[in-house]
Structure 1
Amino acid sequence: MDSRKVIQCKKYPITYTLVIKQVKNINMRISPKGEIVVSANPFVPLDKIDEFVSSKVSWIVEHQKKVVEKAQRCLLSDKEIMLFGKQLKIKKSAGRYNYVSYDDKYLYVQLKQDADVEKVITQFLNKLCKDVFMDVATLTCNSLKDYQIPFPEVKIRTMKSRWGSCTPARNTITLNKKLIHYPLEFIEYVVLHEFVHFIQPNHSKAFYNIIENYMPDYKQRMQLIA
């Protein structure tokens, strides 16, 4: 027997995939994409599995960090970049001014003489993050208009272990700059997740009920980077 389901841990905001199969002990591993995969036999109560996962929080954080750091090294190289979940080849050319554009296959980088290509691409990504994240935040806030959430200050920075954070007391949301490398559907989920913290400042069942109400496929979106 081998069945899979995505479960939200009760004690901590940890989502893991549970694989039911004939194994002696509860086993856990971190997939190459950072997904937490737990294996257990069908007779182990879910509460016991939750306790097992909760007891391994430090181990999970440590190993996911290593996976993320390894994956991040592939987000941008001299020849390729991942943008919105697609691997694009970088095409450089000389020009009178610096300019970056992209399509489904290539990131086109036009460079002035002696221009720093890494700096030019970084500036492009910074602007793209600001434009895309603000658009998604605006649409998300509008969709939650029944809750009358004041539009927050949206901050963008590189974060090591989180995709986003919310500080209701300061009316701010912080988003990880590296989100720009992943599918737009995942970015939309992260933004909604942080906005819902203005309504429910926890990861309770009520919190995820609100998310599911506005984004019924949120579990599938969470798996887009798994």
Structure 2
Amino acid sequence: MAQSETQHRTAGGVEYELTRKRVRNINLRVRADGTVAVSAPARTPLGRVDEFVAGRAGWIADARQRQAQRAAAEAARPVPDKAAALALFEASSARIWPLFAEIRPAPPEIRVRDMRSRWGVCCPAKNRITLALRLAAREPDLIDYVMLHEYCHFVWPDHQPRFWALVARYMPDWKERRARLRG
């Protein structure tokens, strides 16, 4: 099988798409549409991959249910157009930027993009924060959480403990907000 070639398989009652990649471990992902993607090292026997997937059939069923609930909740939230979303995000940035004014003399440029797998992206080199259009359909305190999260990346580019300590310094209830955002 070529490295980028995919194969459709079934194990433990779970249909999945197998891709052989240069990875160390077998990786499993339930996509937003409920399909299951598995990547595995080229030399891992198919039986081992099937066993891995079958052993996680219960977890996969739960993940599919969570994905369906998220999709239903998201469909119930009307997403504003990009101009309205940008206005919401710029207002949030105006609330958060004063906390970082000493290290960011100019507020960052705020952009909106239709992103499916992320809420936001920070690009310190370009002094830019890009937020997902669908975030505009969420509550203002959740928008502020994502905005603060991205601002903290101007200080710490990774998600190490020092990054989370900075988030907690300015937003002690960040874990509760993140849980609501994911739910």
The CA distance in 1 between the partners of 2:174 and 2:31, in whole Å, is 21
Structure 1 residues 1-226: aligned runs within 5 Å: 58-59=27-28, 62-63=29-30, 65-66=32-33, 71-72=70-71, 75-76=74-75, 81-82=76-77, 124-225=80-181, 226=183
Deviation at 1:216, TM superposition (A): 0.5
- SS in structure 1 opposite 2:121? strand
**Two-structure CA RMSD over aligned residues (Å):** 2.4
Structure 1 residues not aligned, in runs of 5+: 1-54, 84-121
- SS in structure 2 opposite 1:75? helix
- For normalisation by structure 1, the TM-score amounts to 0.49
Query: Does the 8 Å CA contact 1:65/1:161 hold for their aligned counterparts?
Result: no
Structure that is richer in strand per residue? 1
- SS in structure 1 opposite 2:83? helix
Structure that is richer in helix per residue? 2
- SS in structure 1 opposite 2:30? helix
Give per-residue Cα distances to partners, 1:117-175, cap 9 Å, x unaligned: xxxxx7x5323201110000111111222434531111101112111011111111110
Moved over 6 A (4+): none
The CA distance in 2 between the partners of 1:174 and 1:74, in whole Å, is 23
- For normalisation by structure 2, the TM-score amounts to 0.60
Query: Does the 8 Å CA contact 2:101/2:107 hold for their aligned counterparts?
Result: no
The CA distance in 2 between the partners of 1:182 and 1:74, in whole Å, is 11
The CA distance in 1 between the partners of 2:139 and 2:119, in whole Å, is 13
The CA distance in 2 between the partners of 1:184 and 1:63, in whole Å, is 29
The CA distance in 1 between the partners of 2:74 and 2:82, in whole Å, is 15
Percent identity of paired positions between Structure 1 and Structure 2: 27
Aligned residues: 126
Structure 2 residues not aligned, in runs of 5+: 1-24, 34-65
The CA distance in 2 between the partners of 1:74 and 1:193, in whole Å, is 23
Query: Does the 8 Å CA contact 1:140/1:192 hold for their aligned counterparts?
Result: yes
Deviation at 1:183, TM superposition (A): 1.8
